[in-house]
Structure 1
Amino acid sequence: MEQLAWLPAHPELGAAIGAARKLPDAGERLAEAIRLAGFRRDFTATGRIDKLAQLARQEGAGAGLTTLRLAILASHTVDHLVPALRVGGLGRRLALNVHVAPYGMYRQVLLGEDAALAGFAPHLILLALDAEDARIELSPDASEADVAAAVALRTEELRRLWRRARARYGAQVVQQTLVPAEPLLFGSFEALVPAAPYAVTERLNAAIRSAAREEGVLLLDLAWQAARSGLAAGFADPVRWHQAKQLVSPLLAPSYGEALAAICGAVAGTSRKCLVLDLDNTLWGGVIGDDGLEGIRLGQGNATGEAFLAMQRYAAALGRRGVILAVCSKNTAEVAEDAFAHHPEMALKRSDIACFVANWNDKAGNLRHIARTLNIGLDSLVFVDDNPAEREIIRRELPDVAVPELPEDVANYPEVIAAAAYFETASFTADDAVRSRAYALNAERAAALEQATDLPGYLRSLEMTMTAKPVGPAELPRATQLINKTNQFNLTTRRYTAAEAERLAADPAAVMLSLRLRDRFGDNGLISVIIARPDAALPPGEMLIDTWLMSCRVLGRQVEEATLGILAGQARLRGATALIGEYRPTAKNTMVAGHYEKLGFRHMKPPAGAEPGAAFWRCDISDVQIPKHFIEVEAA
């Protein structure tokens, strides 16, 4: 597959970069750099876009981007990869600040005292190692037990480094897997010799993956990417290695940057949430309105039908792992839905689709409708359409929507969508697996609201029950995920790594709660996370509401009122006399600007050291008046 195949080609990328450099305003130059990052590019063009963006950022531009600090500790040369990483970040609405530790000094940096890294205060630390550094020297006739012991010893060293990084910096650790560099000694027999170099590297990678799962470490699985990308020659090239100790060729820098930026985006909460699918010639061959149910090509029996079936199966698999599925098609709704109901080869079912829009309106308007219906931003959508003209219209009209460029053959659609890493994640929980169904159930709730004669009657009819419990090991992955992904109903948009969230959850002086909501339609899953803690800028007895976030799919159901009662009770148990609410305005959370005022808090002067622009609200716990609501609250 061609490098960055999901991005469209620009007819004159070099000229466009040159023109962008002449724009008078730094904000305009940065906006143009972000736009140009969305085109297919080589190493040189990537470097020019990065320079354009960096100069604009130095002049103060950067509104709308999430800043993330990444430290790279490597056993090979990585400086040539940094521009591609930063440009990959632009496409994910990230302003990546990158610190590269001295070459080959990762042990010394982590085990000793490194002032530069401490001053940088990284959010993420990438341990980028190579097979040469991780070489395990064994005789070719070493036993299985000898190999297992050597691999375990090396893996345990990595565990110590990961733990040190988390304890000292509170950073999310990312481990790069090892790309086998040596030629085979035994040919196809290599895997059957325990101590053969390639076999040892594979075994070490398997041990690293297993240990990372146990330690909460993320993976940049370069070994899998090298094997699957078709670009393996650009990894561990012996010429580049001996000349410059480069594991990744400059030619592959754009791909490497995108892969690592996708992980950064997952940690920062900028990954996409929803896959929006066209129908005709995207999920089946032909036009159902013209060809009829029997005439579309789908399913076993011919290559084209099988390719469309494979595309549907991939979309269904994404739905099962938590990606919201929607349909946006120019079609008659009844005709389009008939395929889901009656075609025997459909892998996707109508119940898999959280929002189904089939009409003759323009697709840009329909995508806006889908985003509103699902209560997510346009920047959460990925729109897949076989029609190049429709793709171009959406890119122009809705630049926040991701629109992958598609190959001519549908057989290659799944691989291109996967390579784009739109839905990269930093965790996976049971709640994720049912998320798409939860959004579909919201449509049923909306239908019930339309039939209701009054709002209190509707809320009462939902038969809602909220469960609140302290965040423990079982809830921590999902709670951390919500902290880093929720943008709209989020009062402060503070982001915490898994290590930082774990420390807050373990602090006896703090309150960290996870809240779940179920009703007669089903379980909404974990819908809110609350963190309240003492703060040095506040008098004793006052607790700062550090984080209050909620899933937008439960808006308008009095969850906020019920949550306040739970929070006040937990704060009272810790001896608190007042709650201090903080609102940090962002481009996306204006919907909660009046949150504390609606709950009866009084506006107050910001405490010393408060972030500029933040507003603060106070409520004495003895004066808390919980507005009437229709939610039954139970402790877990």
Structure 2
Amino acid sequence: MQAGPSLYWLPEAPDWRERLKALRALPPGSAAAWDTAMALARTRLDFVATNALDAALRALFAEGPPAGLATRPVRLAVLSTSTTAQLHPAIRVGALRRGIHLTLYETAYGQWWQELLDPASGLHAFRPDAVLFALDAHHLAAGAEAGMEAHQAEAALAALLGRLEEAWRRAAALCRGPVLQQTALPVFPTLLGSNEARLPGAPAAFLARLNAELPARAAAAGVDLLDLAGRAARDGLAAWHSAPLWHRAKQEVAPPAAPFYGDLVARLLAARQGLAAKCLVLDLDNTLWGGVIGDDGLAGIGLGQGSAEGEAFLTVQAHARALAARGVLLAVCSKNDAAVAAEPFAKHPEMLLREADIACFVANWEDKPANLRRIAQALNIGLDALVLLDDNPFERALVRRELPMVAVPELPEEPALYPAALADAGYFEGVAVTAEDRARGAQYRGNAARAALAASTTDLAAYLRELEMRLLWRRFDAVGLPRIVQLINKTNQFNLTTRRYTEAEAAAVMQDKQALGLQFRLLDRFGDNGVIAILIGRLGMEGEMAIDTWLMSCRVLGREVEQACLAVLAAEARRMGARRLRGTYRPTAKNGMVRDHYPKLGFTPLAAEGEALHFALALEELPAAPGCMRIEEG
């Protein structure tokens, strides 16, 4: 059997057996065991090692994950028409790699549709958080025949898509999390050759049409695609599928491909939890250009058209710039004199990246772990939101040792392959792109200008007035829904309850007359900060409105936005008949910064319930809005 696609961007672990033995000796259910298991999962494990780690994981955490995890556990149901048991360990380990504890349920063989329909089935009793449709190519192509006329093939395809959409609808009603649909592997040989599309009923052509139709249909239904066909096109079908194994065991995905398959599933689940990385940190010498700028000078570095090396480094820069265009922040972390490091950005005619593209530029002779901490602090994001692209194996190993939460991909020797390695690793996996994502670079450049203004002003009140802030608010609406859901699911620090919402659940707030959903956008003299706060309240008995969700972007802290949001919330709540607000703080590993949020706003403490702290604010007099900004509906 051919070797499967490798997780080649992860560091090798030749000592994995010794590390696994040490893991098994740790106390079951402990944080130490979880961290040790996660560290091992973040190495290049093959099918055998992955299964061994999974066995240890299930034994150590049979009673559930350790307390205090920053990520939500996931209950995943796999609805399959083929054998997928060989994939389960890899899916769990892929989730572990991202700090997620995953419990998996698979419907009985060939019974996925029956279990989906039957409220008394094991699937319904499992109560999944997410559903994966892993329907094999033979099942999907069952309605296709080579002798079909074009209109007959079209009708068969329409019928299949209709069945899938009905299955998605039922799955979405069953679970509160994402629904995933696997694209069809191209397992059928062609009957016409390169022009197979001219035989529309041929299974290969039929599945190609299905895969072409799925993106639009899935997007309309809020379903996320697991692009198995795309991976097979990159890696070769033989890396993913074995025809003899299919006939012997009905395993469509061959066991050697399981670790990559599990990673593909896990990165989609992680993206829905807001766990995708936010910032690509770039080394400079031999990463963005060939050579050493301090030694070779501006004219001596390898960059630009006319040489294979120079063109390869241009592709690295082009990929970084394209990531920035979809919302990924770019930073520089280089051991260099700052002026020397900045020179190519300003003066080299072939540079694609310019300093204006870089949200944080750090070049000095300090160690890289210290500088990565500096970058995370400057951008106000977690270290676990950083990905370091660095050609130097020593620096990669040092950062992994000192900052294991920072993602550091192994890189091939050929720089032309850096972009593919970064893409294959899936650090920036996403399921949607909003207008705020595209504007993120400009927003962080505005933050730098605001910081410069703050540094030149000693009077805080005067600084806030000079920002000329406008806070725009409105109820939840269809236009803002994608950004609302994105913020709810990725905001961890300034988040009082860390409740997560699907798009359907957020849309339901708009229809609920007892619910209040508010979105806030902040503008100032330096630009548009985008949507920076989401509040959800629910009116209950005796005129009390419970604040279900209060989250904000950390980049607007210190500008009295909290007080302004409270003023709007209180006014709207009282308009709905509320006489008091009830706020709750539920601690997580990341939201300690808002523990005192409600007391600072004048709320009175109530009796705690376990770790949850409750507070109340009477609405006899509405809280005053801050005078440093204009508050407008719109």
Taking structure 1 as the reference length, the TM-score comes to: 0.96
Amino acid at match of 1:19: A
Shift of 1:60: 5.6
Say yes or no: does 1:165 pair with 2:171.
yes
Say yes or no: does 1:23 pair with 2:29.
no
Shift of 1:111: 2.2
% same residue: 50
Unmatched tracts of structure 1, length 5 or more? none
Contact 2:131–2:175 under 8 Å retained in 1? no
Say yes or no: does 1:49 pair with 2:45.
no
Separation in structure 1 between the aligned mates of residue 145 and residue 101 of structure 2, nearest angstrom? 47
Shift of 1:352: 1.0
Shift of 1:635: 0.7
Separation in structure 2 between the aligned mates of residue 124 and residue 489 of structure 1, nearest angstrom? 26
Separation in structure 2 between the aligned mates of residue 123 and residue 320 of structure 1, nearest angstrom? 32
* Matched residue, 2:342: 337
Task: Provide Cα deviations, 1:463-515, integer angstroms capped at 9, x if missing partner.
Answer: 11111111112111111111110000000111122222222232121011111
Task: Provide Cα deviations, 1:210-263, integer angstroms capped at 9, x if missing partner.
Answer: 1001111111111111111x2521333211111111111110110000000000
Say yes or no: does 1:8 pair with 2:14.
no
Separation in structure 2 between the aligned mates of residue 162 and residue 218 of structure 1, nearest angstrom? 10
Map 1:83-162 onto structure 2 (within 5 A). 83-162=89-168
Contact 1:394–1:401 under 8 Å retained in 2? yes
Contact 2:187–2:237 under 8 Å retained in 1? no
Shift of 1:166: 1.6
Separation in structure 1 between the aligned mates of residue 51 and residue 147 of structure 2, nearest angstrom? 47
Task: Provide Cα deviations, 1:106-152, integer angstroms capped at 9, x if missing partner.
Answer: 21122222443333222211111111111154453533332222211
Map 1:597-612 onto structure 2 (within 5 A). 597-606=599-608, 612=610
Amino acid at match of 1:384: L
* Matched residue, 2:380: 375
Separation in structure 2 between the aligned mates of residue 141 and residue 98 of structure 1, nearest angstrom? 41
Separation in structure 2 between the aligned mates of residue 354 and residue 319 of structure 1, nearest angstrom? 10
Amino acid at match of 1:95: H
Map 1:331-410 onto structure 2 (within 5 A). 331-410=336-415
Higher deviation after alignment, 86-95 or 595-604 = 86-95
Map 1:303-314 onto structure 2 (within 5 A). 303-314=308-319
Amino acid at match of 1:182: F
The SS at the match of 1:401 is: coil
* Matched residue, 1:545: 547
Instruction: Give the count of matched residue pairs.
Output: 628
Shift of 1:169: 3.1
Shift of 1:171: 3.4
From 465, 468, 473, give the equivalent of 2:470.
465
Separation in structure 2 between the aligned mates of residue 166 and residue 502 of structure 1, nearest angstrom? 14
Task: Provide Cα deviations, 1:587-607, integer angstroms capped at 9, x if missing partner.
Answer: 11111000000000000124x
Separation in structure 2 between the aligned mates of residue 240 and residue 622 of structure 1, nearest angstrom? 72
Amino acid at match of 2:632: E
Query: In the superposition, relative to structure 1, how do residues 115 and 191 fare at CA in structure 2: closer, same or farther (>3 Å)?
Result: closer
Separation in structure 1 between the aligned mates of residue 517 and residue 33 of structure 2, nearest angstrom? 41
The SS at the match of 2:343 is: helix
Contact 1:298–1:309 under 8 Å retained in 2? yes
Query: In the superposition, relative to structure 1, how do residues 395 and 138 fare at CA in structure 2: closer, same or farther (>3 Å)?
Result: closer
From 498, 501, 510, give the equivalent of 2:503.
498
Shift of 1:167: 2.5
Contact 1:30–1:52 under 8 Å retained in 2? no
Say yes or no: does 1:189 pair with 2:191.
no
* Matched residue, 1:227: 233
Say yes or no: does 1:426 pair with 2:431.
yes
Higher deviation after alignment, 39-48 or 147-156 = 147-156
Amino acid at match of 1:621: L
Separation in structure 2 between the aligned mates of residue 138 and residue 447 of structure 1, nearest angstrom? 65
The SS at the match of 1:132 is: helix
* Matched residue, 1:582: 584
Say yes or no: does 1:633 pair with 2:619.
no
Contact 2:27–2:60 under 8 Å retained in 1? no
Query: In the superposition, relative to structure 1, how do residues 436 and 114 fare at CA in structure 2: closer, same or farther (>3 Å)?
Result: farther
Map 1:444-455 onto structure 2 (within 5 A). 444-455=449-460
Query: In the superposition, relative to structure 1, how do residues 258 and 168 fare at CA in structure 2: closer, same or farther (>3 Å)?
Result: closer
Separation in structure 2 between the aligned mates of residue 232 and residue 348 of structure 1, nearest angstrom? 36
Taking structure 2 as the reference length, the TM-score comes to: 0.96
Query: In the superposition, relative to structure 1, how do residues 487 and 579 fare at CA in structure 2: closer, same or farther (>3 Å)?
Result: same
Shift of 1:335: 1.3
Separation in structure 2 between the aligned mates of residue 289 and residue 534 of structure 1, nearest angstrom? 64
From 584, 600, 620, give the equivalent of 2:618.
620
Shift of 1:70: 1.3
What is the alpha-carbon root mean square deviation over aligned residues?
A: 1.6
The SS at the match of 2:626 is: coil
